[in-house]
């Protein structure tokens, strides 16, 4: 009994010291709670459907950020991972009757394989060359998809994929929990030693190489990891939509991912997630103005970038938090002295 109490007190102290102390972390906590507790207030199937898609695309955008934001490998063909995984999952489900919790991870591994295949030629490329080459891959794959319609269903895609779970509510919880879980894992990765190396590769690859780190391995690792998470999103999509078609490989989707991520704020996993959670429901909400929907959307993105070129979340974060000049730890903006080293914050 006493032991449980001890752990509880420790947990509470940790919670107070780590989470409650910064408004951004509190915001994340509130967000997670809101996502998980929403069905207690409103179970409208349309709303749940929108949020399921938002969660799936949030995983996708975060995985893009892992690759392009952190490692600096601008990937303009992220739809490739998404599409490959969706198709693999659909084929495994239809041809081999694999259930969703089997076909989705296997589909994600298909995406990882794709990541390897495109990662290797991209090793020698930099910057814009890399971006434009990655753009080409989903297009080439689309040509292949149309060329072998017997396997891929051509422009109709593969339909008749099993449902993810018995009910809309279960679907919602599966995608929401996965989104929170995978997002947390991705964030932890970027916060770890591997994450630091990836960040360093982005800033100055030559220096990292000079430090004795095998950057080729890390770059490939980034491709594969990003591909895996994007693949999970693709597999989920296939089971929710119950179809996997060439629309999963479109250039427009790759561009959308980049828009979401940059709008939310790159080089931070929570930025793209927030970006998707703002922009995707916004686009749905704009259905009330059917003709000028996309126009308004594009304008909002354009204007936001003008004032917050680093992304929305970093801008908000800079307003509510300040960095201590001495120990570099973040503090609430209203504080006068740092909470750790008591240096002046002004």
Partner 1 sequence: MKRGLAVWSVVGVVCLILSAGFSAWAAGEPIKIGVVGPMQFTQGEGHWNGATLAAEEINAKGGVLVGGVKHPIELVKVDSNEFLSIPDATNAMELAISRHKVDYLVGGFRTEAVLVMQDIAMDNQKIFIGCGAAHPKLCGRVKEDYDRYKYWFRVTPINSRFLVKVDFILLGMVAKIMATQLNIPKIKVAIVAEKAVWCDPIVGIAQKNLPKMGMEIVGVWRPSPVATDVTAELSAIQSSGAHIIFTSFSSSVGVTFAKQWGELKVPAAAVGINVEAQKDGFWAATGGKGNYTLTINTYARVKITDATIAFYDKYKKKFKEAPNYTAGTYEAVHVLAEAMQKANSLAPDKLVPVIEKMKRVGTAGLLAFDETHDVIWGPGYVTALGTQWQNGEIKCVWPLNWQSITYEGAVPYIIPPWVVAHYKK
Partner 2 sequence: MIQNIIINGLINGSIYALLAIGFSLIFGVARIVNIAHTAFYMLTAYLIYVGFHHLGMSPYVAMPLSVLAVGLLSVICYKIFIQPIREHEAAVLIATIALAMVIQEALLIGFGGHYLGAPPLVSGYVSIAGVKVTYQHLLALAVALLALLAVWALLMKTRLGLALRSTAQDREVANLMGMNEARVAMATMGVSVMLAGIAGAIVVPLFVLDPHMWMHPLIMVLAIVVLGGLGSIKGSFVGAYIIAFAEVLVVFLLPMGAFLKGSVALSIMILVLLIRPEGLFGIYFEEER
Residue 148 makes contact with partner 2 by CB under 8 A: no
Please state the closest distance from residue 190 (CB atom) to partner 2, in A.
Answer: 17
Distance CA 276, CA 273 (A): 5
Interacting residue with partner 2 among 295, 327, 333, 341 (CB under 8 A)? 295
Site string for partner 2, 193-222 (x = CB under 8 A): -----------x------------------
Contact partner at residue 96 from partner 1, partner 2, none, CB < 5 to 8 Å by partner kind:
none
Interacting residue with partner 2 among 262, 273, 278, 345 (CB under 8 A)? 262
What one-character DSSP code corresponds to residue 325?
T
Interacting residue with partner 2 among 21, 102, 117, 310 (CB under 8 A)? 310
35 HSE (CA, 13 A, CB side):
24
Of 159 and 337, CB closest to partner 1 = 159
Residues that bind partner 1 (CB under 8 A): 44-46, 49-50, 53, 146, 149, 153-157, 159, 241-243, 245-247, 252, 284, 287, 290-291
Tell me which residue of 8, 3, 58, 39 sits closest to 272, measured CA to CA: 58
* Cα Rg of the chain, angstroms: 21
Interacting residue with partner 2 among 79, 178, 186, 258 (CB under 8 A)? 258
Copy the structure tokens of residue 215.
């950057």
Contact partner at residue 7 from partner 2, partner 1, none, CB < 5 to 8 Å by partner kind:
none
Positive or negative CA dihedral for 235, 239, 245, 247?
A: negative
Phi, then psi, of 337 in degrees rounded to 5: -125, 155
Phi, then psi, of 28 in degrees rounded to 5: -60, -40
Buried b (16+ CB within 10 A) or exposed e, 46-67: ebbebbbbbbbbbbbbbbbbbb
Of 193 and 287, CB closest to partner 1 = 287
Interacting residue with partner 2 among 26, 147, 151, 217 (CB under 8 A)? 147
- Rounded to the nearest 5 percent, the helix, strand and coil shares of the chain are 75, 5, 20
Distance CA 138, CA 242 (A): 21
Of 169 and 289, CB closest to partner 2 = 289
Contact partner at residue 282 from partner 2, partner 1, none, CB < 5 to 8 Å by partner kind:
none
Residue 217 class from Cβ within 10 Å (0-12 exposed, 13-18 middle, 19+ buried)? exposed
Contact partner at residue 241 from partner 2, partner 1, none, CB < 5 to 8 Å by partner kind:
partner 1
Of 291 and 336, CB closest to partner 2 = 291
- Element (H or E) spanning 115, and its range? helix 100-122
Residue 27 makes contact with partner 2 by CB under 8 A: no
Residue 117 makes contact with partner 2 by CB under 8 A: no
Distance CA 60, CA 58 (A): 5
Of 57 and 137, CB closest to partner 1 = 57
**Choices 81-89, 108-116, 295-303, 319-327 (CB under 8 A): range interacting with partner 2:** 295-303
CB 277 within 8 A of CB 54: yes
Question: What residue ranges bind partner 2 (CB under 8 A)?
Answer: 74, 121, 124-129, 131-133, 135-136, 139-140, 142-144, 146-147, 204, 251-252, 255, 258-259, 262-263, 266, 291-292, 294-295, 297-299, 301-302, 305-306, 309-310
């Amino acid at each position: 009994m006493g032991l449980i109490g001890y752990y509880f007190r420790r947990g509470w102290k940790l919670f107070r010291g780590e989470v409650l102390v910064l408004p951004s972390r509190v915001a994340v906590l509130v967000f997670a709670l809101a996502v998980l507790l929403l069905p207690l207030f409103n179970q409208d199937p349309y709303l749940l459907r929108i949020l399921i898609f938002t969660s799936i695309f949030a995983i996708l955008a975060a995985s893009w950020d892992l690759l392009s934001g952190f490692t600096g490998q601008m990937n303009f063909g992220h739809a490739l991972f998404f599409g490959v995984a969706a198709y693999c999952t659909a084929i495994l489900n239809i041809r081999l009757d694999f259930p969703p919790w089997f076909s989705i991870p296997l589909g994600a591994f298909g995406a990882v394989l794709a990541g390897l295949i495109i990662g290797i030629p991209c090793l020698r490329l930099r910057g814009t060359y890399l971006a434009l080459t990655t753009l080409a891959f989903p297009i080439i794959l689309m040509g292949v998809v149309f060329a072998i319609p017997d396997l891929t269903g051509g422009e109709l895609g593969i339909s008749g994929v099993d449902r993810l779970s018995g009910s809309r509510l279960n679907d919602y919880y599966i995608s929401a929990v996965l989104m929170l879980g995978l997002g947390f894992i991705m964030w932890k990765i970027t916060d770890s030693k591997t994450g630091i190396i990836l960040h360093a590769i982005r800033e100055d690859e030559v220096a990292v190489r000079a430090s004795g780190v095998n950057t080729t391995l890390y770059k490939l690792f980034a491709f594969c990891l990003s591909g895996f998470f994007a693949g999970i999103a693709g597999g989920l999509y296939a089971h929710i939509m119950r179809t996997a078609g060439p629309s999963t490989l479109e250039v427009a989707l790759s561009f959308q991912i980049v828009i979401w991520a940059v709008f939310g704020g790159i080089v931070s996993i929570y930025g793209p997630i927030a970006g998707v959670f703002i922009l995707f429901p916004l686009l749905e909400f704009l259905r009330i103005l059917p003709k000028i929907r996309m126009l308004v959307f594009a304008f909002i993105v354009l204007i936001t970038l003008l004032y917050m070129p680093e992304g929305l979340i970093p801008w908000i974060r800079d307003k509510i938090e300040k960095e201590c000049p001495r120990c570099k730890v973040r503090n609430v903006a209203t504080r006068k002295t740092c909470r750790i080293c008591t240096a002046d914050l002004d």
